[in-house]
Structure 1
Amino acid sequence: MTASPTVVPGSPDFTGTPPLLSARGVHVVFPGRSGAPPARAVDGVDLDIRPGEIVALVGESGCGKTTLARALLGLVEPTAGRVSFDGRPLDRSGRSLKAYRKRVQLVLQDPSGSLNPRHTVYDAVAEGLRIHGHRGDERAAVAGALSRAGLRPPERFFLRYPHELSGGQRQRVVIAGALVLEPELLVADEPVASLDASVRGEILALLLRLRTELGLSALVVTHDLGLAWNIADRVAVMYLGRIVETGAVEQVLTAPRHPYTRALLSVLPEAPGDPVVLTGEPPDPARIPDGCRFHARCQILLGGEADRAGVANACRTQDLEILDGGGDGAGGQVACHWARAGGV
């Protein structure tokens, strides 16, 4: 495991707090090409994010986590299910979506691709203000956002271009561009994946500080369980379009119950024992298997432990219900026949 989690000792208690963002039964289906069956990229997800909470959405590439994040942002319309914000269903009219996107901001993985190379830092940060018709002091708002993002004195960066900045500084500019609109929730898609190891900790510390100082909530989309351990209050592990385990981060990452979570954790540098090598590739989302969607790669089923627990047939034939998205950190939830039979 990585260094002990930064957030756990002082984690706020979210029990009973109404969610800021809520997803219920969200499906996103993309039509197949040339008569192929449709791809179920998100195949039933419940997820809540509470005010001031940081939730890590974890899974390998292709599991549907970025598509889910785009649906939560209103960039992709769910095929089924609903997304609510601050207690109200998301209205997809142009004016309502514009107002919503002021309150929920996206921070992308690659700052170089997020910033227009022809725009100065000032223009990059001010762009959101101009789109949303900001009526106050633009210069003061840009300076404040840059300062909160750790670029001080902010005026020193106004006339710089992205190519004149380090990778960490570019990511801070992207974060400042989100902060300038004073959002309530950040959706950060692999926010440190493209950064050097020496800078990753600084950006994670910045996100934690913003939560403390501004009360920001965050959904952090990542394949990196070490990142989740260091920043999140709660973790949701996603596989083939559905959340398969969720709970308080220290609970899930120190005592994982789902075989898929165990496999992901086993490859971390400090993980005890040998890495779990999963067989094959994740199934095609257009051809999700019957039963548990992980069963074709499951080390517990292949190793005979599911047979000994009497659940092997259920693993192969019985689908599991969508996990409740409430996730107040008490107890945790798992979509696994073997774990529920007491195999953990």
Structure 2
Amino acid sequence: MTTEATLEPTEPPTGSAPLLTASDLRVSFPGRRGADPARAVDGVDLDIRRGEIVALVGESGCGKTTLARSLLGLVPPTSGRVTFDGRPLDYRGRALKAYRKRVQLVLQDPSGSLNPRHTVYEAVAEGLRIHGYGGDERAAVGAALSRAGLRPPERFFLRYPHELSGGQRQRVVIAGALVLEPELIVADEPVASLDASVRGEILALLLRLREDLGLSALVVTHDLGLAWNIADRVAVMYLGRIVETGAVEDVLTAPQHPYTQALLSVLPEAEGEPVVLTGEPPDPSRVPGGCRFHARCQVLASGEAERAGVAQDCRTKDLPVLSGAGGTQVACHWAASRG
């Protein structure tokens, strides 16, 4: 199940304490014109261990980018807690600045995240200057560009974004994150804007950074093929909650949740007929009762849930928040009835 040449992730350390933990995280935004608040993230537990790559997967609008921004400290949670390296995230200015040095964001569109008036050198050095770096700036910028695969780095110092290919621009963005020597990067659709020929190179780079630097990563994507290529674990998100999680091979070869099954069914290499979900994801200000996927669920619509004796539960009985720890877990009445 690959969209690029299969990559070989190295195994992350097992049994170690999580580097980052989200505990019952919730993020709500005011509703429009007096409507109920939009529950963009509605109860999420998630762990990321040192040296681990976790893929957060789901359709547009499911809450995955809001969750990622909350983990970065860019969006304070309405309730719940983010813990990093054993300490709760402190949202005060100095503490948050120190946290953002250790946890860096890589955006999906390098053209939008790079200032067209800044050279590559200035783009990569910006983080050092913000954080008051006292060492050899030129050496640090050169080392970051080299790690990101732009060699020799001096050749790129005075170039501008428009003089680079899409893959080179994405490497500059990655170098801008690496220059601060973070422990975790959050990559939001890191290859979505790239040609297929370049995607595998960037994914291989992320895997190599994990191997060489012990870097952890949360990769936010709608692409399950990407998750297969790069992740150790996958968390499938729907309408503000994680509905299935586990080792990437377990989830993507034997998906239990109907939503995960539907997402996988439309990949080019999938066998059988694709599952076409009806309608759009519900409005997060009007989360349906019962299983939040039930209005679009192919298992419920086909009568299979009725035959399993869980159709009423699907429509009326809420499901618990999944644990953020390892191990395959699924929030689905029908899947639970089969196991």
Greater mean alpha carbon deviation, residues 32-41 or residues 55-64: 32-41
SS at match of 2:116: coil
Aligned to 2:333: 337
**Cα distance, 1:17 vs structure 2:** 1.2
Q: Which runs of 5+ in 2 are unaligned?
A: none
Task: Tell me which residue corresponds to 1:260.
Answer: 259
Find the residue that maps to 1:262 and give its secondary structure.
Answer: helix
Deviations 1:8-42 (A, max 9, x none): 5x42352x210000000000000012211110000
Q: Using the alignment, how far apart are the partners of 2:7 and 2:47 within structure 1?
A: 22
Q: Aligned pair in 2 of structure 1 residues 7, 322: CA closer, same or farther (>3 Å)?
A: farther
Q: What does residue range 10-49 of structure 1 map to in structure 2 within 5 Å?
A: 10-14=10-14, 16-49=15-48
2:8 paired residue number: 7
CA RMSD of aligned residues (A): 1.0
Q: Map 1:46-61 to 2 at 5 A.
A: 46-61=45-60
What CA distance in whole angstroms lies between the structure 1 residues aligned with 2:333 and 2:242? 15
Report the 3-state secondary structure (helix = DSSP H, G, I; strand = E; otherwise coil) of the residue aligned with 1:81: strand
Match of 1:249 in 2: 248
1:259-293: per-residue Cα shift (whole Å, max 9, x none)? 00000000000000010001111100000000000
Partner of 2:202: 203
Distance 1:214 1:20 in 2: 15
Residue 251 of structure 1 aligns to a residue in which SS?
A: helix
Counterparts of residues 105-120 of structure 1 (less than 5 Å): 105-120=104-119
> What number of residue pairs does the alignment pair up?
338
TM-score by length of 2: 0.98
Is the Cα contact below 8 Å between 2:185 and 2:216 reproduced in 1?
yes
State the shift of 1:7 in Å.
3.5
1:324 aligns with 2:339: no
1:177-207 per-residue CA deviation (whole Å, 9 max, x = no partner) reads 0000000000000000000000000000000
Q: Distance in 2 between matches of 1:188 and 1:335?
A: 26
Identity of aligned residues (%): 82
TM-score, structure 1 as length reference: 0.97
Q: Is the 8 A contact 2:13 2:52 kept in 1?
A: no
1:45-103 CA distance string (max 9 Å, x none): 00000000000000000000000000000000000000000000000110000000000
Equivalents in 1 of 2:90, 2:6: separation in Å? 37
Check conservation: 1:5, 1:231, Cα contact below 8 A: no
1:276 maps to a residue whose letter is V
Runs of 4+ residues over 4 Å off in structure 1: none
